[in-house]
Amino acid sequence: MTATPVRPEQTRSLSGTLGVGAIVLMVVAAASPLTVIGGAAPLGVLLGNGIGFPAMYAVAGVVLLLFTIGLSAMSRAVPRPGAFFTYIGHGLGRSTGVAGAWLALLTYTAVQLCVYGYIGAILAVTFEGLGVAGIPWWVYSLAVVAVVGVLGYVHIDLSAKVLGVLLIGEILIVLALVVAVLATGGAEGLSAEPFAPSHVLSGAPGIGLMMAIAAFIGFESTAIYRSEAKDPDVTVPRATYVAVIGVALFYTVSAWALIMAWGPSQAIDTVAADYANVVIITMGQYLGPVGYVVTNVLLVTSMFACVLSFHNVLTRYQHSMAGGGLLPIELTWVHKRQQSPYRSSLLQTITAAVLVTICAVLGLDPVLQVFTWFSGVATLAIVVMMAVTAVAVVAYFVRAHTRGRLWSTRIAPVLGFLGLVGFAAAVAVYFPVLVGDVDAEGEPVFGVVSALLVGSIPLFALIGYGQALYLKRFRSSRYARVLDTIADAGA
């Protein structure tokens, strides 16, 4: 492939004709439906609030829908790609916007790394069962990094098609389980017991919320594809609403069906016996041997779809940041033939490979440490970033003296902010549980590992603030380019 740039205006602008369906596929694939139901949901039941866990998807969905109302209003008022960090900059100033940009990089990089760990572990076990033993998990992870890198290099339409096929397969197999449970009545009959307040608030609801919120990470990235959307003012808001509502409904019903499959009285014990394979076992029981095998295959493709989707999101975040002068200008280059941000894609591929290698050198367990630790970091970081964005939305419209849209520009964002602050507090309090930092009574306490992981969030925000101050003082021309992406809303 040749990648010789022509003129700057040709090499720095993304274009495309993605519709609502294609964008929804890209961002919902990032949620990795089968991985959520097969991995996060059992952990939510086991470590969180037991059979009351399905309700957490509904709770998270309501709060995020309120947040999305303000986000969609902002996407129409600020017609630029960049999502959170662009909107934060327009509402709260350039320095805060730059901090948000770096926090976004941390969030999506952490998500991608944790899934690379998980898929490496799954592939190692799968191939060992086929007689190929002795190959460590990180070799498989690096192989997946390479394949994702190739797909990320070419035009995004190909990624959308690949993700679409994989996502449809995931959704169909999970819906098949739901239908089978409904048809058979489950193990103990169908009931709304999981939604009873006594169950929803039992155990450790903070862990339940953490696992539920993780399923939504990536929905806001619809705005990242603005430059490649067919009709961005219509397509982006619609895709965002569809993604949030669809994810909330799908996971609430699917998690409920998982509880019904084993019965409320047996679900927790069943999950505890083999949480890593409980969904596969459930599929085998309700869908037979074919369902068992298909689920095994789709679990791997589900995680592949996840890392491919987040690779595309990260690539475009870097592209937007470079356009605003926050990263090297070379990352704005768009391939002449593929029309993809190929330089940014290559950088992201290298970054993923380096991080996987570091985890391997440190001897981290791919599931218990890489997956669990970094999914926690991503969840807490995204909640903090959304809360700040909600404030930015209100600040922007108040300053713009916008009238007649109080619900979408003030009330809904404020309600969303209050909910997100509550989420952040619950996740932060229970974060040490993820890394095993608990006292003799099993209560969470911040040890070295949990403190370092949580501390990475303010650290990346400070890096952003520091860069903004440095550029303003020593690279004024480059600092001025931040305005290409982030509005001049103050220092």
- pLDDT tens profile 353-394: 999 999 999 999 998 889 888 988 999 999 999 999 999 999
Please report the pLDDT score of residue 491 as a whole number.
Answer: 39
pLDDT of residue 335: 57
pLDDT higher than 60, residue 1: no
Task: Answer yes or no: is pLDDT of 490 > 50.
Answer: no
Give the Cα separation of 389 and 383 in Å (integer). Answer: 10
More confident residue, 163 or 352: 352
- Measure the N-to-C terminal CA separation of the chain; round to a whole number of Å: 43
Q: pLDDT category, 183, cuts 50, 70, 90? A: very high
C-alpha atoms less than 13 angstroms from C-alpha of 377 in its C-beta half-sphere: 32
Residues recorded for the chain: 491
Q: Answer yes or no: pTM beyond 0.75.
A: yes
Angle at 429 between CA 425 and CA 431, to 5 degrees: 110
The DSSP call for residue 40 is I
With contact defined as beta carbons under 8 Å apart, do 182 and 27 qualify?
A: no
Determine contact, residues 97/88, Cβ cutoff 8 Å: yes
* Amino acid (one-letter) located at 18: L
CA distance 487 to 93: 7
Instruction: Find the helix or strand (DSSP H, E) in which 146 lies.
Output: helix 137-153
Contact between 471 and 75 under an 8 Å Cβ cutoff? The reply is: no
DSSP code of residue 440: T
DSSP code per residue over 160-183: HHHHHHHHHHHHHHHHHHHHHHHH
Structure tokens at 386: 């959304």
In this predicted structure, what is the pLDDT of residue 25? Answer: 62
How is residue 83 annotated by DSSP? Answer: T
Domains and CATH numbers, the chain: 28-484 (1.20.1740.10)
- Over the chain, what is the mean pLDDT? 82
Look at residue 286 in the predicted model and tell me its pLDDT: 94
Phi, psi of 189 (to 5 degrees): 90, 155
CA pair distance 290, 283, nearest whole angstrom: 9
Tens of pLDDT along 301-347? 878 877 887 888 788 778 777 777 788 877 777 756 655 677 888 88
